[in-house]
Amino acid sequence: MERRKRRVSGAMVTGPLAPFADDYEAKLRARGYSSRSVVCELRHLARLSRWMEERRLLAGNMSMERLEEFLSGVPRRRDGGRVCSRRALAQVLEVLDEYGVGVCKAEEAPASPSEALLSSFEGFLLQERAVTPSTAAVYVARARRFLAWCAPDAELASLTASDVTGAVLQESVSESVSATKLFVTALRSFLRYSFIEGLTSSDLSAAALSVARPRLSSLPMGIDTRTAAALLRSCDRRRPKGRRDYAILVTLLRLGLRAGEVAHLRLEDVDWRAGEVVVHGKGRHEDRLPLPNDVGEAIAAYLERGRQNGALQREVFLRAVAPVGPLTTNGISGIVRCACVRAGVPVVRAHRLRHTLACQLAGAGAPLPAIAEVLRHRAISTTAEYARVDIEGLRAVAQPWPGGEGR
């Protein structure tokens, strides 16, 4: 086998991956890796390439399975961490793909009838119902569990209402009320789809009975003004990461966005001249909201002196460490958690900041339709929960307790 060599940034790469080392280095630098990290990762690439050469593997034999095999044999650090970065090395697969090198993939077994049905159901959710991929994945997982219980062969013609009710009861035995409610929601969607496709003779979605939960057991909870101020003060705005975290927290508090909506915010969604921002909400709905001055100033400060120069991503908020890329919903929630820890306040989820705006509006006497418009609720019943936080307003309309005079 011809022994090819490529010296890149002080790291000698030999073997089947040597011709791709330059492009691998360029990809790492474009994604925000420091010069020191680039050299380190190139040394790992050289080690991987030598490992492949010893096994007489070509570049086209490289795959994620091969990479996992290589990493399993690499010694770990004393703290248990990997010496090589899976995330960094996995990017060599992208380079090979860009060159058209046939990366080996495991042969997929023919899809079973159940998996074929679930795949079709997922396509229906994405295309017809306009749900997000993450929501579709959750629904498909619940539908898969239902099929395993009631129709392993995906034959739904003989399905009965009692089968559906039994599945819900079985789920409720081992899962929490919230998890069972999600199962019921996904199951109803799957059963409606099955009826539309003619897989069942009748619509059995009504047989998935609602799960009772004491909705009035607790009030919607936000955070108080002092806690909100502590979260904002915890961000070191002298540093790029602090400017980013501050802009995210201000956006959550002032606009009441969901974590996913902040993560999906793109540069073209901010209309600086009109002072508006386009929000991509649930069900692929788009809404235009006014852009408050403090939110606009925080985002502008991050874009000017915090966001990585030359980043190609169109999302507004990016990761602060390599590889540079857009934040996820979990990433936004993680920023809120870290801010709580820094501020020394009880840890809350990002959605609590959305509750904060709603509670503030309700406390200021804003009517429910106005709150619903700000939060972009499709049903006024969802907003009605916030009416309960206006304690003084409730006292004014409360009827006297029978026999409770003088109390």
Token readout for 124 is 């229906």
Instruction: Locate all alpha helices (DSSP H) within 225-292, ordered by sequence.
Output: 225-233, 240-255, 259-263
| Helices (H), ranges, 175-288 | 177-196, 225-233, 240-255, 259-263
319 neighbors 249 (Cβ within 8 angstroms): no
What does the pLDDT read at residue 88?
81
- Catalogue all structural domains in the chain, each as residue range(s) with its CATH number: 5-98 (no CATH), 113-210 (1.10.150.130), 225-389 (1.10.443.10)
Task: Say what the pLDDT of residue 1 is.
Answer: 42
Quickly state the pLDDT bin for 219 (edges 50, 70, 90): low
Which residues make Cβ contacts (< 8 Å) with residue 46, sequence separation at least 6? 11, 12, 13, 14, 15, 21
Between residues 246 and 45, the one the model is more confident about: 246
Residue 356 has pLDDT above 90, yes or no: no
Residue 107 pLDDT > 50, yes or no? Answer: no
Contact 244, 317 (CB under 8 A): yes
Q: What percent of the chain shows pLDDT beyond 90? A: 38
Q: How far is CA 303 from CA 86, 231, 338, 372, in A?
A: 30, 21, 21, 30
| Mean pLDDT, the chain, whole residue set | 84
Catalytic residue numbers read: 258, 282, 351, 354, 377, 386
Is 288 in a helix, a strand, or coil? strand
Secondary structure (3-state) at 328: coil
Query: CA 269, CA 284: separation in Å to the nearest integer?
Result: 14
Per the omega criterion (within 30 degrees of 0), is the bond before 367 cis? no
For residues 249 and 353, the answer to whether their CB atoms sit within 8 Å is yes
What's the whole-number mean pLDDT along residues 1-12? 56
For the stretch 322-325, contacts whose Cβ atoms lie closer than 8 Å and that sit 24 or more positions apart, written own/partner, are 322/28, 322/31, 322/32, 322/33, 322/34, 322/37, 322/88, 323/28, 323/31, 323/32, 323/33, 323/87, 323/88, 323/91, 324/31, 324/32, 325/31
Q: So what's the pLDDT on residue 2?
A: 45
Q: What are phi and psi of 286, to 5 degrees?
A: -115, 130
Give the residue from 34, 26, 32, 24 showing the smallest Cα distance to 62.
Answer: 24
Secondary structure (DSSP) of 342-391: HHTS----HHHHHHHHHHHHHHTT--HHHHHHHHT-SSHHHHGGGGGG-H
What would the pLDDT profile of 273-297 be if each residue is shown by its tens digit? Answer: 999 999 988 777 888 999 999 999 9
Residues 328-348 have a mean pLDDT of 93
More confident residue, 1 or 284: 284
How far is Cα 300 from Cα 96, in angstroms, rounded to an integer?
A: 37
Give the pLDDT of residue 96.
87
The rounded distance, in Å, linking the Cα atoms of 387 and 47 is 62
- Write down the pLDDT at residue 194: 94
2: helix, coil or strand? coil
Q: Taking the model in full, what pTM does it have?
A: 0.68
- In the chain, what is the greatest distance between 2 CA atoms, to the nearest angstrom? 98
pLDDT tens across 384-403, in order? 666 555 555 555 555 666 66
User: Is the model's pLDDT at 348 over the cut of 50?
Assistant: yes
Span 44-66, average pLDDT: 88
Q: What is the pLDDT of residues 163-202, one digit of tens each?
A: 999 999 998 888 888 889 999 999 999 999 999 999 999 9
Residues 6+ apart with CB under 8 A from 389: 219, 220, 359, 362, 363
User: Quick one: average pLDDT of 86-104?
Assistant: 79
- Residues 229, 231, 232: CA angle, nearest 5 degrees: 65
Q: How many helices, marked H, and strands, marked E, lie in the chain?
A: 18, 5
| 289-306 mean pLDDT | 94
